[in-house]
Amino acid sequence: MNSVLECTPEELAERFREQGIEPFRARQVAGWVFGRGVRAFEAMTDLAQPLRAELASGWRTTALEPEGELRSRDGTTKLLLRTEDGGRIETVIIQEDRRRTVCVSSQIGCSLDCPFCATGRLGLLRNLRTGEIVDQVLQARDVLAARGEHPTHMVFMGMGEPLLNLRHVIPALRILTHPGALAFSPGRITVSTAGVVPQMPVLGRAIRVRLAVSLHATTDEVRDRLVPLNQRFPIASLLEACRAYPLPPRGRISFEYTPIRDLNDSTEDATRLVRLVSGIRAHVNLIPLNEHPASSFERAKPERVDRFAGVLARARVPVTVRQSRGDDILAACGQLGASDPPLAAAAVGR
Ligand code: SF4
C-alpha cells in the first residue's frame, strides 16, 4: 500500500496524478497529516466522501503502532513503537529547559557494535523505512501536544547509524523540513555519525543539517576499541571529512566524547583533542557514560571530566559537559534497546 509518510507534497501530487486523483489534493492531505496530525482520511472534511474512501483503500498514513511510554524522573520520555512486521524501536523526547528534542532511531539495532552501547549488542536487524522515521516524529509531536508542548529540535542519535541508512534518512529529512509537510528548520536537526566517512559528503550535499560525530577517543588505538568502525575509517580520515563538510550558517560540528575512567579521560587526551579539532568549527560535548547491563566500562570521575573540559575551554574550544537524561528508564545515550530483551529476538523482515 502507498504511504503518505514517504512522500513530500510534490511527490504525493505526482503519485495522485498517476492514480487519476487531482494533484492539488496532495496539499490538502499533507496539510491534514503533517500539519494537523490527522491520520484518518474519514476526518479530512474538505475531501469529497468518495475520495476519502478511495484514499483509505489505497493509502496509509501511519507506519508505527505505539506500544508504551516511559517517563523519567527528569522528564525524559521514551516511546516504545512497533513496526508493521513486528520490529520494536525506541524514540526519546528529551526535556531540557525550553528545548524539547526528539531523538530519532534510524535502524532496528546497529551493525557497528560499539562496546559501550546496548543497541550495538543487538546487531543490525534492519534499516527503518522513510515512513517509519517520519512517524517517530509525528508520534512524539502528538505526545508533546497532549502536554501543550511541541518539538523544538531533532537529533538522529537513537538506535542505529543514520549514515548507513541514507537511502531512507535523506527522504525523511526532506519531508521533515519541507514547508508543506513538517516544516522543521534544518538548522535544528542534528544527524549523528560514528564516522561513516564516505557517506558524510553524501549527506552534506543532500541537505544542510547539523552534524555530530561520535569521536570518543584521540588516538586510533583507543578509538579502534571504542568505535570499531575506526579500523576502516581512522581519525585522520574522519577529521578530513569533517573539514570538508558543508555546515549550515553559524553551524558547528558537534564532537561527542564520552570520558571513560582511565581510558580516554586524561589531560593529554584533552590536549590531543584540541589539536585534532583545530581549524574545524567545532563544539565538544562531554557525555557521561551511561551504564547498561552489557557494558563493563566505568564513568570517568567528575573531577577528571572538569579538568578535561578546562583544557578545552582554555584553548577556546567550545565545550559542554552534559548531564545524563533518562538513565532511570534506559533512555539515555547508548541504552536504547537495553530495556527489552525480546527486542533482540523481534521477528523482522528484510
Ligand atoms: S553507539 Fe551508535 S553507532 Fe555505535 S553501536 Fe550504538 S547505535 Fe551503533
- Tens-place pLDDT, residues 75-89: 899 999 999 999 999
| Burial state string for 152-185 with b = 16 or more CB within 10 A and e = fewer than 16 | ebbbbbbbbbbbbbbebbbbbbbbbbbebbbebe
Whether residue 117 has its Cβ less than 6 Å from ligand 1? yes
Whether residue 110 has its Cβ less than 6 Å from ligand 1? yes
The pLDDT, as a whole number, for residue 311 is 98
The third-level CATH classification (topology) of the domain covering 64-344 is: TIM Barrel (3.20.20)
CATH architecture, range 2-60: Orthogonal Bundle (1.10)
**Dist CA 114 CA 222 (whole Å):** 12
The parts of the chain modelled with pLDDT lower than 70 are 292-294, 327, 329-336, 338-350
Output the nine-digit C-alpha cell for 112: 557497528
The pLDDT, as a whole number, for residue 116 is 85
The pLDDT, as a whole number, for residue 343 is 36
Output the nine-digit C-alpha cell for 191: 544527524
| Distance from residue 294's CA to the centre of ligand 1 (Å) | 14
**Dist CA 257 CA 28 (whole Å):** 44
| Distance from residue 150's CA to the centre of ligand 1 (Å) | 27
> Whose C-alpha lies nearest to ligand 1, atom 7?
160
pTM: 0.92
Whether residue 113 has its Cβ less than 6 Å from ligand 1? yes
The pLDDT, as a whole number, for residue 72 is 92
> Whose C-alpha lies nearest to ligand 1, atom 5?
120
Taking a C-beta distance cutoff of 8 angstroms, is the pair 193, 200 a contact?
A: yes
The residue written with cell numbers 561513516 in the block is 196
The pLDDT, as a whole number, for residue 335 is 67
The preferred substitution site among 114, 163, 216 for testing ligand 1, maximizing ligand atoms within 8 Å of CB, is 114
The pLDDT, as a whole number, for residue 348 is 30
Taking a C-beta distance cutoff of 8 angstroms, is the pair 153, 100 a contact?
A: yes
Q: Which residues are catalytic?
A: 90, 333
The pLDDT, as a whole number, for residue 350 is 27
| Distance from residue 205's CA to the centre of ligand 1 (Å) | 24
The pLDDT, as a whole number, for residue 227 is 97
| Distance from residue 159's CA to the centre of ligand 1 (Å) | 7
Domain locations along the chain: 2-60, 64-344
